[in-house]
Amino acid sequence: MLQRKTQTAAFWRDQFEITPQDLDFLYDLILDTQAPKTTAELALALVQEYLRRETARMESELAKGAIYQPSEHYEVGQKLVFPALDFKVGEIVGTRPAHNPEYGEFSAIQVKFPDEKDVREFAADLKTPHRLNQGNGHLSEEGALLSAEEIYELYKDEIEAALLYALEEGPRANDFVQVDGYWLLSDMLADVHVGHLNIAEAMIEMEGRPLTTEELLREIELDENIGKPMQIISLNYALSRDERFDRIGGDKEHLWFLKRLEPKEALEIPPLLRYRPIRYNRALLSVELLQLEWELDDEWGESGFAGDMSNAIPSTSFALIYPHRRYGTIPLSSRTRGFFPQAESGRSMVTFIDGRWGGRRTGWVVHEGRYVCGLKEWMDEHNLPVGAHITLERTNNPGEVVIDYRPRRMKREWARVAKADLENNRLSFEMSKVQISCEYDDYLIVAAADTKALDQLHDQLEQAGVGLNEIVEQLVPELTKLNPQGTAHAKTIYSAVNMVRRCPPGPIFYSLISNRKFKDMGGGFFALA
């Protein structure tokens, strides 16, 4: 059987590079089909082309002479093809008898290659077995070869990495454009100039809502000689490259809005809502602590329901923690996620209906950050504290959600108030009365004397590289001193930590039980040892 380079891992993993010939092939492929192609489609087509080229080359080389096999007899003047030498063709210029104790009597043929000065010798008339004697070299007998699909699956990462680099960074990168995961030729796009984009901006601003590409094309006139599907692709591409516009919606939707009309929290995840995963030994958490973790249902936590809450459940509730109160956001946790549009990344829009006053306001689902923003004014209007019980209720419209809280007569209640000690990089607490007019979780309630100072403390702790264990160790004595029993609840410690560092309950609870300075008193309470 003839050895093919394309059947080896070494070729695809170490030698494969996109050549100018390959780019010409891909260009012609898209041009001929007049249809966008995914990276996977281009990669598979290129593998098929490599197999075709290799077969054609082998057939061409094999036609130049007989396949060299040590067992055959050859005469002077005969031309031979040597597959093991990358199909080099040589002419026999002489023969002589030869003997070897291992192989016995055989012939040595002298072969002259056009690109070599010296004559090389090869064995012929060999009676003993030799690996080069296997098969007769006919391509039709290569039934065990890997198909293009099999090769692509085996070396997908290497092939696509080389392909993407060539299309995005190579010498002909300007010839190819990628729109929504599809590749097409830049020449296929309709010309979308700045005037068209200015019209799109004005349309969105006048409507005050995201518009689809089709809606924008009602007023934007592109080249009529280009079909409507390609006009849509062209406008989407142009909008995605203009910093004024933001694509809203799921992976399959194209809704365009203006970034300057979106809240800051929708465009950039606030520092205190960013969680950097922390490794810890989860097996050491007690059943009691795991139950508390489940109750808290932190969007970055590892417990909660086995999956998201069923879409059939009409309502849910959760307790507000400081980072969400600070920025006017609510979490996308296992209990709340099913009430909002689903996507892996990007942003989606929803309408919140105030369950108290009936007002409507826009919410922004930030999928990567696992939160929904746009509720700062609503929280301020109702004077909601950290720990407030928030409820969500479905409506008949999937794009609308009723948001509410559990009201009660306003009264002044004792709460833990945090103060930032910026000189010593510490957070201190004292008890003070605050006005509250809703039901809340007494263990979670904390208030900030100065939110900007807390923001600065968060930044200082991060820049100084202060770890979670250090923060927990500093905060527990501060919290236990507020309680006559000298204890602090795990939920309270979780709430306090999240005033200066975003972290789900698991790592915090582990920090408590693994530190000998603290004693587990049961019921979720901890004291100084």
Q: What is the pLDDT of residues 475-506, one digit of tens each?
A: 999 999 999 999 999 999 999 999 999 999 99
Report which listed range, 69-83, 199-213, 335-349, is most confident: 199-213
Residue 114, domain member (yes or no): yes
Where is 409: in which H helix or E strand? strand 407-421
Domain match, 149 and 48 both? yes
**Rounded distance, CA 177 to CA 183, Å?**
6
Q: What is the pLDDT of residues 201-244, one digit of tens each?
A: 999 999 988 999 999 999 999 998 888 888 999 999 999 999 99
Q: Which of 74-88, 104-118, 253-267 has the lowest mean pLDDT?
A: 74-88
The enclosing domain of 417 has a CATH number of 1.10.10
pLDDT for res 310? 59
Minimum mean pLDDT range among 61-70, 76-85, 264-273, 304-313:
304-313
Q: What's the CATH number where 116 sits? A: 2.40.10
Question: Residue 320 domain-assigned?
Answer: no
Say if residue 37 is in the same domain as residue 147. yes
**In a domain? residue 446:** yes
Is there a contact between 219 and 205 (Cβ–Cβ < 8 Å)? no
Range of the domain at 94: 70-135
Rounded-to-integer distance, Cα 363 and Cα 349, Å:
6
Mean pLDDT to the nearest integer, 450-473: 96
- Judge whether 377 and 329 are in contact, CB under 8 Å: no
Same domain flag for 32 and 178? yes
Quick one: CA dihedral 33, 39, 45, 50, positive or negative? positive
Two tokens at 517?
């300075």
In a shared domain, residues 153 and 50 = yes
Domain limit, last residue, from 261, 293, 319:
261
Asked if residue 149 and residue 131 are part of one domain, the reply reads no
Is residue 298 within 8 A of residue 320, CB to CB? The reply is no
pTM > 0.75: no
Q: Which residue has the tokens 């998201």?
A: 308
Q: Are residues 461 and 500 in the same domain?
A: yes
Predicted pLDDT of residue 140: 43
Among 210, 240, 261, the domain-final residue is 261
Are residues 168 and 75 located together in one domain of the fold? no
pLDDT at site 141: 46
Note whether residue 324 is domain-resident. no
Same domain, 450 and 496: yes
Same domain, yes or no: 446 and 524: yes
- CA 323 centroid distance within chain: 24
For the chain, what is the mean pLDDT? Answer: 90
Q: What local confidence, expressed as pLDDT, does residue 181 receive?
A: 84
Strand-strand pairing, 79-82 and 66-67: parallel
Residue 255, domain CATH: 1.10.10.10
**Domain assignment of residue 328, yes or no:** no
357 in a structural domain: no
Considering the domain boundaries, does residue 302 fall inside one? no
pLDDT at 133 over 70: no
**How many domains does one find in the chain?**
4
pLDDT score, position 60 = 77
pLDDT band at 1 (very low <50, low <70, confident <90, very high): very low
pLDDT tens-digit map of 389-446: 999 999 998 889 999 999 999 899 999 999 999 999 999 999 999 999 999 999 999 9
Residue 306 has pLDDT above 70, yes or no: no
> For 188, what's the count of Cα atoms within 13 Å in the CB-facing half-sphere?
26
500 falls within a domain: yes
Higher pLDDT, 249 or 8: 8
**For residues 18 and 172, is the Cβ–Cβ distance under 8 A?**
no
Please tell me whether residues 196 and 230 are part of one structural domain. yes
**Residue pair 184/29 in contact by the 8 Å Cβ criterion:** no
Percent of the chain with pLDDT over 70: 95
Residues 113 and 231 in one domain: no
Q: Do 414 and 477 reside in the same domain of the chain? A: yes
Question: How many Å apart are CA 513 and CA 492, to the nearest integer?
Answer: 15
Q: Is the pLDDT of residue 139 over 50?
A: no
